[in-house]
Structure 1
Amino acid sequence: MPQLTALTPLGDLTLSEQDGAIVALDWGRGRDQSPTPLLARATAALHAYFDGAPDPFADLPLNPAGTAFQRRVWAAMQAIPRGQTRRYGDLARDLRCSPRAVGTACGANPIPIIIPCHRVTGSSGLGGYSGGDGPATKRYLLGLEQA
């Protein structure tokens, strides 16, 4: 699977491609570096995001592996505009499920930042974050977006 690592303000982030779509974003440097056209475009989009571009990921083909329910949650997260947040309970109400199920799907997101699980917060505060340095990374991303 082709991978390409981008150096970002959060450190190394590695994008993975499969069958013409981005399938993962992982913290750390990937072992294999294969600068395919899509991975180069996705890396440029990541840099644009950290530079403040409003929606640099809009045209990236994504294919995160997950259940039908997880994909519904991830699609709902992608609909949250930059600079805004939604609560787990709000998404749960829209998706007719429990906030815990939304939180579990957020934690299983294989393409964080691009699928913005950091924009989903708890009813009494920030909530968790499974990437990077956890809640500190979530605070950084929300601050970057001025949410």
Structure 2
Amino acid sequence: MPQLSLHTPIGDITVAEEDGAIVSLDWGWGRDQSRSALLDRAEEQLQAYFDGELRQFDLPLAPAGTPYRLAVWKALCEIPYGETRSYQEIAASAGGSARSVGQANGRNPIPLIIPCHRVVAAGHIGGYSGGDGLATKRWLLTLENPTRTLL
């Protein structure tokens, strides 16, 4: 499976593709590196995102997950850049409960591109398991909306 690692403002990340679609984005530097047209496109879009120049990714995605997780991840992709939704709001559109949405978020195999960082708890920022945890989530939310007050 081709994968490419990148240095980013939130640390090293590795993007992998399979059968012409992005299947994962992991924190850290991958051991094996290979380039492809799709991974080059993903690198360009991720760098533009971190530079504040890209608001919506345009990449084929193929996250592996249960039908419920896929529904949650689809709902996450519908959250506009610079905005957030609560776990309960995502549950209302994808089904399940706020807790099950949180669990699906934690299993998101393509964070950043499937923007699980845009989901917050009622009254506070909620959790985040990627990168440096809440510090990474705060950084991403501030990148997308510098005037937002984060709790």
TM class by smaller structure:
over 0.9
The gaps in structure 1 that reach 5 residues or longer are none
CA distance in 2 between counterparts of 1:134 and 1:145 reads 17
Q: Which residue of 1 aligns with 2:69?
A: 70
Alpha-carbon shift at residue 97 of structure 1 (Å)? 1.5
TM-score, structure 2 as length reference: 0.93
CA contact (8 A) 1:48 1:56 kept: no
* Alignment correspondent of 1:89: 88
CA deviation after TM superposition for structure 1 residue 124, in Å: 2.3
Q: Measure, in 2, the Cα distance between the counterparts of 1:53 and 1:119.
A: 18
Report if aligned partners of 1:46, 1:56 keep a CA contact under 8 Å in 2.
no
Runs of 5+ unmatched residues, structure 2: none
- TM value normalised by structure 1: 0.96
Which residue pairs with 1:51 in the alignment? 51
Q: In structure 2, how many angstroms separate the alpha carbons of the residues matched to 1:88 and 1:107?
A: 12
Q: What number of residue pairs does the alignment pair up?
A: 146
What are the Cα deviations for residues 89-144 of structure 1, in whole angstroms up to 9, with x where unaligned? 11112223110010000000000000000000001201111100111100000000
Shift of residue 24 of structure 1? Answer: 0.3
C-alpha contact 1:13 1:25 (8 A) present in aligned 2: yes
Q: Secondary structure at the match of 2:12?
A: strand
Q: In structure 2, the residue corresponding to 1:114 is in which secondary structure?
A: coil
Match of 1:14 in 2: 14
Runs (4+) off by over 6 Å: none
Contact conserved, 2:56 with 2:81, CA < 8 A, in 1? no
Amino acid at match of 2:69: Q
Distance 1:106 1:39, change over 3 A: same
1:141 corresponds to 2:140: yes
RMSD over aligned CA atoms reads 1.0
Aligned residues with identical type, % of pairs: 59
Partner of 2:112: 113
Shift of 1:56: 4.4
